[in-house]
Amino acid sequence: MKKTILPKSDKLIINPNIQTCVYNYYNLDPLWRTVNKANRILIIEPSIFEKHPISKKCMDFMLELSKNIENIQIFTGEYTELTKLIINNNIYYKEHPLNSHYTGNREK
């Protein structure tokens, strides 16, 4: 398979007074943590897609599916880069074998 074509990041707007929910290719649940107001960010990590490439069609499908998550923002970069932008470090994410390097509040 060829190299994965990654989208450009949105200019993130992060409210430090609320939690941040991090989504990825393996978690695009539009109902996850919806009772709480949150910054919602879809992270697309180049290192993951270098090791596990996907087609343009799959990437487009993921981006289209993410639109079901209200106010989602796209961040193309590594998780450590993203955490530097989240001042309150109040981060939530769903557990998955490919995100064992995430820090914050892990949910099963």
The model's pLDDT over 56-82, given as tens digits with 9 standing for 90+, comes to 999 999 999 999 999 999 999 999 999
Domain span at residue 43 reads 19-107
**Is position 79 within any domain?**
yes
Output the CA angle 52-54-58, nearest 5 degrees.
145
Q: Which amino acid is at 96?
A: H
Domain-embedded: residue 4: no
Flag whether 51 is in a domain.
yes
Q: Is residue 97 part of a domain?
A: yes
Q: Please give the model's pTM, rounded to 2 decimal places.
A: 0.93
Residue 1 has pLDDT above 80, yes or no: no
3-state secondary structure 59-73: HHHHHHHHCCCCCEE
Judge whether 4 and 53 are in contact, CB under 8 Å. yes
Q: How many domains does the chain have?
A: 1
